[in-house]
Amino acid sequence: MSDVKVWLVGAGPGDPELLTLKAVRVLGQADVVLVDDLVNPAVLAHCPQARLVPVGKRGGCRSTPQAFIQRLMLRHARQGLRVVRLKGGDPGVFGRSGEEVAWLQAHGVACEVVNGITAGLAAATACGLPLTMRGITQGVTLVTGHTEHGDAPNWAALVAGGTTLLIYMGVAKLADIQAALLGAGMAADMPVALVEQASLPQQRQCQTTLSQLRDAARRFALRSPAILVVGRVVSLAQAEVLPEAEVAGHRTRAA
């Protein structure tokens, strides 16, 4: 590691065994680790020597301002400290790595991204389904259901594309997402998987259809962080919707 450099490291979806070897090495050499809210605390066992700085950013919760995080990285790097910005999932998938890299480089600080497994991949694996499959779909699209300025994705283009959709940060926008997909012509019986806390021991998942999405999420008591997998490949999933009477007991056991 050089003296004036920042590493943006993906901590993966939650399971600490899904860290890359490079992420473990970089964490083990860090002086300061700025930790995202969704990072599993078990991951921090790989950096016992480092000063830990929580910089949580979650939708619907009070978040550390992005500008403050960037200034903090710059200040520590200019002090000659080895700085790691530890993010849930992959830094380049809705992790703001692009703007952080550009900002740091504009201020004379080198930056390196260490990829991590994104939650959407872990969510699909949790349901036992492939994201692509010959004869069903030849692609997958990652999209966020929540944007900073409230603008929506081009759902019509996404529906026309025919790929499997991995929808991040969509729990609070389920009604809007359902209406937009149906309005864009997606079939009402399109299979949808809802995966909460992918890869963690408290992981839960269920399967429904687009027309039943809101009702299924309500009965399932779906909470963030969760991934929506939308597409015909979901028909291959090993996930079922729980009967409404079982939801409360299941959540208690999973907590």
Catalytic site residues? 36, 57, 169
Q: Please state, in angstroms and rounded to a whole number, the distance separating the CA atoms of residues 69 and 1.
A: 21
- CA 222 → CA 76, 100, 140, distances in Å? 39, 31, 23
Q: Please state, in angstroms and rounded to a whole number, the distance separating the CA atoms of residues 134 and 201.
A: 32
Those residues whose C-beta lies under 8 Å from the C-beta of residue 139, and which sit 6 or more positions away, are 132, 161, 162, 163, 164
Q: Residue 37: which of 73, 88, 100, 74 has the closest Cα?
A: 88
User: Is the Cβ–Cβ distance between 19 and 11 less than 8 Å?
Assistant: yes
Q: Please state, in angstroms and rounded to a whole number, the distance separating the CA atoms of residues 37 and 71.
A: 18
Which residue, chain included where needed, has tokens 């992981």? 203
